[in-house]
Structure 1
Amino acid sequence: MFKGHCGGHGFGRRFARGGDEFGDRHHGGRHMGGGMGGGGRRGRRFFDHGDLRLVVLGLIAEKPRHGYEVIKAIEEALGGQYSPSPGVVYPTLTLLEELGQVEIQLCESSRKLYAVTEAGRAFLATNKGAVDALFARMAETRAIHGDGPPPQIIRAMENLKTALRLKLAAGKPSDEAIRQAAAAIDAAALAIENL
């Protein structure tokens, strides 16, 4: 599925960037509702079917980008309200490449740099209304929600949630382990209150 992608894209590095078991970061259930396919933490997809393809292609048409730059650009465009996982972005990039809408340019670091092709520009022109509407809704979301919590805080909270989830999934922890985990979380909360 991820054939041909250079290493170092962060697959499996849940602690480094935060994320649930599917790689998505949902910030405290603050998914947007309505126009973007909204829903809650376990609700519908953030983008409706086909929307992510248009957004990714539109961003690459602005300037050539690496896959991780596409992820960050979407997150920034939405004011931190949503960050697509590598597990949806990289297959979308592969699809766009297979459709001839983007091409890969190797850069010095040997990571793939995606650039739009004439076929990609033609597809965007054909779908200009949908693309413009998507980017307008993304800008509206950012305007409504602002930039959200600092990314360092989001990452740290996701690390905590992932550590707890993995520990609990490994089997029932001992009473002492539960006590220690609760004490560590309480101590962190107290330290934050005292900042």
Structure 2
Amino acid sequence: MHFHMHGRGCGPRGRDFARGFGGGRGGWERFAGEVAARWDEAQRSGGGRRRMFDGGELRLVLLRLIADAPRHGYELIKAIEELTGGAYAPSPGVVYPSLTMLGEMELIAEQASEGARKRFAVTPSGEAHLAERAEEVAALIARLTGLGQERHRGDHAPVRRAIANLRHAVQNRLHGEMDAETAHAIAAVIDEAVQKIERL
């Protein structure tokens, strides 16, 4: 993906394209945000699979999360990652231009916060926009949570954790003093667990 720049502008066709995003500095920020989003998602998808988000879908997700609670950009990234069970997290290069666009659309507003990071809150216009697109927003959130459920469906981490805990507990008892009665009791507990697992 490349663009040929001419002088301070970008040629008539480039100017016409930017004008579709509002023209001026804000227009180019929108243009850059869309380019960054498309490039980031194409890289993540390997070029052959469907992108996680198309067009303004990411903006809708961010707006929904901000409406739930005012958040920083990093908090939004982590919130999406949590929704997907760690399967997907948008990059800062996509999130921050999207936040800029939401601000220019007056759907969110910067809120006073400590430190250098900007915290954003939804505006009345943002609430109205979410109400108008409620079905689409619900579908997008369902897509994210579904991705997390698919990941956890094949995740054996809980079983591996339980096995490690069992091994650790048994080893600790074996390293200490143990009479025959205690040894038989531990063996009986393990045998019972094995039988229950085999019946699942």
TM-score by length of 2: 0.53
Q: Distance in 2 between matches of 1:59 and 1:130?
A: 14
5 Å-filtered alignment, 1:12-27, equals 26=44
Tell me the amino acid that sits aligned with residue 104 of structure 1: E
5 Å-filtered alignment, 1:10-159, equals 26=44, 40-43=45-48, 44-146=50-152
Segments of 5+ residues of structure 2 without an aligned counterpart are 1-24, 26-38, 158-200
Tell me the amino acid that sits aligned with residue 76 of structure 2: V
Describe the shift of the 1:143–1:23 C-alpha distance in structure 2 as closer, same or farther (beyond 3 A).
closer
Contact 1:23/1:86 (CA < 8 Å) preserved in 2?
A: no
- Quick one: higher RCO (CA 8 Å, sep 6+), 1 or 2? 1
**Cα RMSD for the two superposed structures:** 2.9
Q: Distance in 2 between matches of 1:91 and 1:149?
A: 37
What displacement does 1:91 show? 0.4
Q: Distance in 1 between matches of 2:146 and 2:110?
A: 31
CA shift digits 1:115-157 (9 cap, x unpaired): 000000000000000001111121111111129799xxxxxxx
Length, aligned pairs only: 119
What displacement does 1:99 show? 0.4
The share of aligned pairs that are identical, in percent, is: 48
Tell me the amino acid that sits aligned with residue 46 of structure 1: M
Tell me the amino acid that sits aligned with residue 80 of structure 1: G
Tell me the amino acid that sits aligned with residue 123 of structure 1: H
Which protein has the larger Cα radius of gyration, Structure 1 or Structure 2? Answer: 2
Q: 1:115 aligns to what SS in structure 2?
A: strand
Describe the shift of the 1:22–1:144 C-alpha distance in structure 2 as closer, same or farther (beyond 3 A).
closer
Tell me the amino acid that sits aligned with residue 54 of structure 1: L
Tell me the amino acid that sits aligned with residue 91 of structure 2: S
Describe the shift of the 1:122–1:113 C-alpha distance in structure 2 as closer, same or farther (beyond 3 A).
same
Task: Name the structure with the higher helix share.
Answer: 2
What displacement does 1:25 show? 8.6
